[in-house]
Amino acid sequence: MHSPFPYDRLSTLEEFFGREEELEKLSSIVKYSNNLLIHSKRRMGKSSLINYFFEQHKEDYLCIYVDIFDITSKEHFAHSLLKAFSNSHKSDIKTTIKNLTSLFKRVRIEPAIDPITLEYSIKPIVATLSFEEMMDDFFNSLDTLSKSRQIVLAIDEFQQIANITDVKLDAILRKYIQNRENISYIFLGSKRHMLTSLFEYKAPLYELASHYELQPLKVDAIYEYAKRFLDLDADMVTYIYEKSDGETKMVQNILHLLYINKKEKISKELIDEAIKEILNSKDSSYKIIFDTLSNNQKIALKIVGKHKRGFFAAPILNEYNIKKQTLQSAIDALFKKEFIDKDGDKYFIPDRSLELWVENL
Q: Domain map of the chain by residue range?
A: 20-213, 219-292, 293-361
For residue 100, name the pLDDT band (cuts at 50, 70, 90).
confident
> Given a cut of 70, is residue 162 above it in pLDDT?
yes
Residue 263 has pLDDT above 80, yes or no: no
| Proportion of the chain above pLDDT 90, given as a percent | 67
Q: For residues 305 and 245, what is the distance between their CA atoms, to the nearest angstrom?
A: 13
Whether residue 276 has pLDDT greater than 90: yes
Does domain 293-361 bear CATH number 1.10.10.10? Answer: yes
pLDDT level of residue 344 (50, 70, 90 thresholds) = confident
What was the pLDDT predicted at 1?
66
Is the pLDDT score of 278 beyond 70?
Answer: yes
Element at 92 (helix H, strand E): none
Give the span between the Cα atoms of 181 and 314, in whole angstroms. 58
Whole-number Å distance between alpha carbons of 240 and 71: 35
Reported as a single tens digit per residue, the pLDDT across 176-234 is 998 888 999 999 988 777 777 888 888 999 989 999 989 999 999 999 999 999 999 99
Q: What is the reported pTM?
A: 0.88
The percentage of residues in the chain with a pLDDT greater than 70, rounded to a whole number, is 97
Biggest distance spanned by C-alpha atoms of the chain: 71
Which of the 8 DSSP states describes residue 293? S
Per-residue pLDDT at 225: 96
Q: Is the pLDDT of residue 347 over 90?
A: no
DSSP 267: -
Q: What is the pLDDT of residue 292?
A: 94
Per-residue confidence band for 146, with pLDDT thresholds at 50, 70 and 90:
very high
Q: Which residues of 165-199 are buried (b: 16+ CB within 10 A; e: fewer)?
A: eeeebbebbbebbeebebbbbbbbbbbbebbbebb
Going by their DSSP bridges, the two strands 36-39 and 210-213 should be labelled as parallel
Q: What is the mean pLDDT of the chain?
A: 91
Would you give the end-to-end CA distance of the chain in angstroms? 37
**How far is the C-alpha of 25 from the C-alpha of 34, rounded, in Å?**
11
328's enclosing H/E stretch is helix 324-336
Confidence of residue 133 (pLDDT cuts 50, 70, 90): very high
Q: Is 119 exposed, middle or buried (0-12, 13-18, 19+ CB in 10 A)?
A: exposed
Count how many residues are written for the chain.
361
pLDDT, mean of residues 37-44: 86
CATH of domain 20-213: 3.40.50.300
Closest CA to 147 of 178, 182, 180: 182
* DSSP symbol at 159: G
Helix (H, G, I), strand (E, B) or coil at 286: helix
